[in-house]
Amino acid sequence: MTIYQHIDDIYQWIEIISVIECNCKSFAIRGGTNTMSDNQDTFIDTLHDHGLRLTSQRELVLQILREASEHLDAEGIWQNARQYDQDINLATIYRNLNVLSQIGLIQQSFLGEGQKRGYYELIDKPFHYHFACLRCGKVLELLSPPMAQAQQEMERHYGVRIIDAHYKFEGLCPDCMASHANDE
């Protein structure tokens, strides 16, 4: 047995222990009811298809991303997770983000000019586009019926099916435009 196999065994035991320790916390997070999106069964099926389980940590990461009102990086997800589980560490968040990205449940985006920090969101969100402010770094989600219509027209015209699209707009947000106008 190699050192890597031993490490994998240790991670599996840590995961089992964490699930046992977090069952009460997980129940408290859910308040006894299911707060995952309507696609929870799809999440579970996708995990099972890859030989994985929906651990309390993965469920927490998915819940935080589903309920987020802003784009979150790993540290933002960790800070939110600590509200429910004080013992969760940043390495656990990164490990779960990596797994959830690899199996296609979440995606990582680099939203600003030269951005080195990745932001995460669920794959099951409707088509939307990102606007990144070049001054303050704020990221806005834009829903655009004309863009959705253009995608439908491209599908019809070219006989393709668009599964995903990435559009990123950059410029100044309203707050930065106002402060820029005041500076002049």
Strand 129-133: give its sheet, edge to edge.
Answer: 139-142, 129-133, 168-171
> In terms of domains, do 104 and 175 share one?
no
Count up the domains in the chain and report the number.
2
Which tokens belong to 69? 């009102």
Examine the domain organization and report whether 97 and 47 are in the same domain: yes
Does residue 73 contact residue 64 with C-beta atoms inside 8 Å?
no
Q: Which domain holds residue 142?
A: 126-184
pLDDT at 148: 79
Last residue of a domain, which of 123, 143, 173? 123
Asked if 78 and 161 sit in the same domain, the reply is no
pLDDT truncated to tens, each residue of the chain (184 aa)?
444 444 444 444 444 333 333 333 332 222 333 334 455 777 788 888 989 988 999 999 999 998 987 788 899 999 999 999 999 999 999 999 999 999 888 888 776 656 667 888 887 666 677 888 888 878 887 877 887 788 889 999 999 988 777 677 888 999 999 987 777 6
Same domain, 95 and 111: yes
Distance CA 61, CA 68 (A): 10
pTM for the model stands at 0.60
Same domain flag for 19 and 96: yes
Do residues 98 and 32 share a domain? yes
Residues 149 and 118 in one domain: no
CATH number where 182 lies = 3.30.1490.190
Longest dimension (CA), the chain: 68
Residues 25 and 81 placed together within one structural domain of the fold: yes
Same-domain pairing of 143 and 118: no
Which of 76, 102, 123 is the last residue in one of the domains?
Answer: 123
Structure token pair of residue 132: 């990144």
Does 26 lie in the same domain as 4? Answer: yes
Amino acid (one-letter) located at 75? E
Residues 139 and 69 in one domain: no
Question: What CATH number did the domain enclosing 90 receive?
Answer: 1.10.10.10
Q: Are residues 65 and 95 in the same domain?
A: yes
Q: Residue 113 contacts by C-beta under 8 Å, 6 or more apart in sequence?
A: 132, 134, 170
Q: How far is CA 49 from CA 97, 98, 131, in A?
A: 17, 17, 35
